[in-house]
Structure 1
Amino acid sequence: MNFATAPGASLRAVFSAVMLGVALSCAPMAAPAFARAAPESFADLVDQVSNSVVNITTSTTIAAPTGDVPNFPPGSPFEDLFRDFGLPGPNGPNGPNGRGAPRRSNALGSGFVISEDGYIVTNNHVIEDADEIEIEFFSGRRLEATLVGTDPKTDIALLKVEPETPLPFVNFGNSDKVRVGDWVMAMGNPLGQGFSASAGIISARNRELSGSYDDYLQTDAAINRGNSGGPLFDMEGEVVGVNTAILSPNGGSIGIGFSMASNVVSKVVDQLMNFGETRRGWLGVKIQDVTPDMAEAMGLDKPEGALVSEVPDGPAKEAGIEAGDVITSFDGGEVKSTRDLVRRVADAPVGEKVRVVVLRDGESKTILVTLGRREQAEGEEAPAEVPAPQEAEKDMLGLTVTPLTDAMRTELGLTKEAQGLIIKSIDETSTAYEKGLRTGDLITEIGQQPVATVSDFEARVQDAKDAGRKSVLLLIRRGGEPRFVALPVE
């Protein structure tokens, strides 16, 4: 079973999104006493919005094959076999014997009009790599569309047509107000069958598939291939989601579909319309969620916030945010998790000064940060670290640790400036092993303090014991990536 996008006839439009072993949940939401009853009919709603929903057909040129193909003589029965299965036989129109030629591939999808002058929203995977994009309206009229911009991270694309008269359009609704159990209606072009409507309820909210900015509404309204890019309407006729993916063992609808929430889409569309690209805020930190044992080790009241594991060169470092800080508030909004912070930062305007509240050494501290731009910052490398002196190895907390040597740096692919303690061996029955620590991990901090010697290790553990804490927080690096791990000190 896998997740698949819901566009039509093109295999390139099908993608795997997440493994089913990942548990996703949604907090229960109490329905007020005035909850709306099931409608007797959706016909009025269909009449209201159908003129704003469009079918999308794309055409893509696929180059002729260039690989080796068996050379059968003309008239060979193998030529029929290649032709019947659509394979590039040597003497066919795409074959290597002098008659090779590119071919055209078509794909189907859906979309919806958001302005009378012809802006249309769809999924990026519907129009990706397309040479030509044709829009079919409910009336049967067809117009060629141009691509304004795309955002692969949310799988959203913005198109533009040039109509002779104003077009009927629909507005975005507030997806944050949608509740589990609310009625919704999906419209689009399922399996290339043309304009079609299906209805159901919101099954869950805040679903994640594969992206950093994911915020999907789950619905049991029937969504199939070809519905991708189409709107998910609330009962007021406002778009609360863009139909994007389905969970299915066979490629058809089984009542688990996903629509990107309109509050995410509307922000992306505004940026594509104004700039032709996205411009997301960038704080410049590597973060991880705070687990209960980490919270205990740091003396926090509850496991909330985003724990800063590394601060490369960028806005956060310039403002004074440090590794080990727990970000609890961003721009006036509470931060409960890393996902919460990523979304808030991305939504903030580039160049804006924002207040970031962090917990550091048990005290709250407010830091003013001027945000950079995420798209420009992607791919930047983390700074090098300071060298550490050599010292004898030590056994503690189920670990045997030793300072780095030049030979270890070479063997582990570390820079000569890298510092810390290497885990030389680990007791596989220990809590440290259960927590995921392994031989070769580099410990750079203990108790949110740098470690350069084994005596530093002992001192940090003793400090935690003296403070009455049950755990101590380690910052480790594996393959260059930082991660905090809390280990019991008893």
Structure 2
Amino acid sequence: MNNTLKKLIPYTFVGVISGATTFGAIHYFSDKNSDSEFSYFAPKNNDAKYASFNMTGVGDDFVKASKMTVPAVVSIKNYSNRTSQRSEQDLFDQFFGNPFGGQPKQQQAPKDMPSGMGSGVIISPDGYIISNNHVIAGASKLEVVLSNKKSYVANLVGTDPTTDIALLKIEEKGLPYLNFANSDNVEVGQWVLAVGNPMGLNSTVTAGIVSAKGRSIDLLSQQSRTPIESFIQTDAAINPGNSGGALVNPNGELIGINSAISSKTGYYEGYGFAVPANLARKVVEDIKKFGLVQRGFLGVKSLDLSDTRQVSIYNQQNKTNIKSGDGVYLIEVVDKGGAEAAGLRPGDIITKVDETAVSNYYDLSFAVGTKRPGDKVAVTYLRNGRTNTVNVTLRDEKGGTSFRSKADLTVTEKIGADFEPLSERFKTDYGLNSGVVAKNVQSGSEMSKIGIVDNYIVIEINGKPVNSQKDIEKILNGYSGNVQVKYVDEYGRITTRGFKMP
């Protein structure tokens, strides 16, 4: 047996044991004869001493990291008053398919039973907990259960659908917690542990490696108009219930927040994805300090040149001949935006931001979206075949370069939706005297919590008819009480639901 194979034995052996534990395969292998796959990895003769020695070292690393991580990972129970299935399973089913086939069954969860469950990670001794936005979406009550079974009602501090991150707080002191690691230093092939509460199995630890970095899977576009995806991919076993849990290195440091899997069945098939720690940390720092995420924008509308289908559609619709490839093509430069001020023009192709190569839209959104308004970035672009670099001062969506707090938000930003007027013809055809169409409803927003989604028609706010977004702004500007919303759903049913104005 050569030296290379000897070195691989202990790591391969650990991977097999982890996988076997996850799927209950130990019993399966124990029934096999000496020619089974399990025996294939067993070292022989002097190799046994070598494997045993190295297994002790690696095993000790896993044990140490597990002991550090498990107490800091919590179970989160989402109690919702609205008719829904498990909130976390919604996202899994939408992206990966319902493992039971057919359409997801909509049902009202009993009042004493959670409508969804997931995981979270304690990140400070005074009770701040990070999780996924889709774990807490639509909750009227959030219960946090520690690994020692102590239970707390959590306050939702803030959410960010753009990155699928949420920040919660429980009232306690001296809690075990995890430190953020620098996720930029994560290497493909390094060992990691995933810790969470999959399938109702509390405090579960699985082992694997980092399979890839910077993955975009077009998942968060379901939650946000401007998604930021640069996932760490891992083959550590992750299943429904793991969302919001910890991805840690062998030192027990937090390198990512487990968020999703890629699977045809809805269960683990070897591909898990975690929000990198650097991005998650920036989001929670903003939420703690400002109450909302401070995100910078270039001020452009773009075409992802790596998406050959989108390039083809754009060419057909606009009678152009843009070539597909790496980079992001600028379709439009927004007036008074950072890109315009720096001299960028339609037709430019962005290839790099600071030291980050831009091969597609998600590379650009990650490089820019992790910055704040007022930050400067060096943008490298192609124009007429020549490479240029220019410094761009990022701005927020309103064109400002200063930080904003919740008090600075408009009414529609606070309630989480935009509204477009109905045509008079539509009102006449459907017998409506008023109404606006809800658009860009944000996951976890006040409008979302009362059951409103895109294209629902809002006809009254606090008993007053609304026909434009300005009407809604006028009614709710400066208002701090309970809001009553009358709306029409996709079946034509008229419903009135309420929320407290944030």
- TM-score normalised to structure 2 length: 0.55
**Aligned residue for 2:329?**
307
Task: Say whether 1:273 aligns with 2:273.
Answer: no
Query: 2:190 aligns to what?
Result: 182
Letter in 2 for 1:108: M
Q: Distance in 2 between matches of 1:132 and 1:110?
A: 15
Change (3 A) 1:305 1:61: closer
1:437-468 CA distances to partner (integer Å, 9 max, x unpaired)? Answer: xxxxxxxxxxxxxxxxxxxxxxxxxxxxxxxx
Give the corresponding residue for 1:40. Answer: 59
Matched, 1:346 2:361: no
Q: 1:225 to 1:279 in 2, by over 3 A?
A: same
* 1:159-198 equivalences in 2 (<5 Å): 159-163=168-172, 165-198=173-206
**1:165-207 CA deviation, whole Å, 9 max, x = no partner?**
3211101112222222211111111111222111122222222
Partner of 2:121: 112
Q: Counterpart of 1:55?
A: 75
- The match for 1:133 is 142
1:148 aligns to what? Answer: 157
RMSD over equivalenced CA pairs, Å: 3.7
Aligned residue for 1:281, secondary structure, equals: coil
In structure 2, relative to structure 1, the CA distance for the partners of 1:87 and 1:216 (3 Å cut) is: closer
Which sections of structure 1, spanning at least 5 residues, go unmatched?
1-35, 65-84, 89-93, 95-100, 381-490
- In structure 2, the CA distance between the partners of 1:321 and 1:151, relative to structure 1 (3 Å rule), is same
> What does 1:160-309 correspond to in 2, within 5 Å?
160-163=169-172, 165-210=173-218, 211=220, 212-289=227-304, 304-309=326-331
Change (3 A) 1:192 1:349: same
Counterpart of 1:133 in 2: which secondary structure? strand
2:264 maps to amino acid: P
**CA pair 169-341 structure 1, distance change in 2 beyond 3 A:** same
1:360 aligns with 2:383: yes
Secondary structure at the counterpart of residue 39 of structure 1? helix
C-alpha distance after superposition, 1:402-458 (max 9, x if no partner): xxxxxxxxxxxxxxxxxxxxxxxxxxxxxxxxxxxxxxxxxxxxxxxxxxxxxxxxx
State the partner residue of 2:394: 371
1:290–1:149 CA distance, 2 compared to 1 (3 A): same
- How many pairs are equivalent? 310
* Cα deviation 1:266-298 (Å, max 9, x = unaligned): 22122122222222111111223557999xx99
- CA 1:339–1:247 in 2, change beyond 3 Å: closer, same or farther? closer
Alignment CA distance shift 1:257-1:126 (3 Å): same
Q: Which amino acid aligns with 2:250?
A: M
Letter of the aligned partner of 1:148 in structure 2?
A: V
Name the structure where strand makes up a greater proportion of residues: 1
Q: Which residue of 1 aligns with 2:426?
A: none
Partner-residue secondary structure (3-state), 1:217: strand
CA–CA separation in structure 1 for the residues paired with 2:305 and 2:271: 31
Answer yes or no: is the 8 Å Cα contact 1:61–1:104 preserved in 2.
Answer: no
User: Which stretch of structure 1 is more off in the superposition, 359-368 or 263-272?
Assistant: 359-368
The aligned residue for residue 402 of structure 1 is none
Distance 1:333 1:193 in 2: 39
Preserved CA contact (<8 Å) 2:83 2:107: no
CA contact (8 A) 1:62 1:105 kept: no
* Alignment check: 8 A CA contact 1:63 1:102 kept: no
Residues 376 and 231 (structure 1), Cα distance of their counterparts in 2 relative to 1, 3 Å cut: farther
* Letter matched to residue 40 of structure 1: G
Which residue of the partner structure matches residue 28 of structure 1?
A: none
Q: For 1:309, give the aligned amino acid.
A: I
Compare CA radii of gyration and give the structure with the larger one: 1
- Give the AA of the match of 1:181: G
Residues 119 and 196, structure 2, Cα contact 8 Å, conserved in 1:
yes
CA offsets per residue over residues 12-59 of structure 1, 9 Å max, x none?
A: xxxxxxxxxxxxxxxxxxxxxxxx987135222211222111111121
Within 5 Å, which residues of 2 pair with 1:411-490?
A: none
Gaps of at least 5 residues in structure 2 are 1-53, 85-104, 221-226, 312-319, 401-412, 419-502
Equivalent of 2:341, from 318, 323, 326? 318
Tell me the distance in 1 between the aligned counterparts of 2:389 and 2:106: 64
* Greater percentage in helix: 2
**Identical positions, percent:** 40
SS at match of 1:321: coil
Distance in 1, matches of 2:326 and 2:267, equals 39
CA gap of 1:58–1:315, structure 2 versus 1, over 3 A, is: same
How big is the shift at 1:368?
A: 4.2
Preserved CA contact (<8 Å) 1:330 1:341: yes
CA gap 1:336/1:194 in 2 versus in 1, 3 angstroms: closer
Q: Contact conserved, 2:216 with 2:362, CA < 8 A, in 1?
A: no
- Residue identity opposite 2:115 in structure 1: N
Q: CA deviation at 1:333?
A: 5.2
User: Would you say the 8 A contact 1:280–1:375 is kept in 2?
Assistant: no
Instruction: Give 1:151's aligned amino acid.
Output: D
Q: Secondary structure at the match of 1:62?
A: coil
Provide the rounded CA distance (Å) in 1 between the counterparts of 2:156 and 2:164: 14
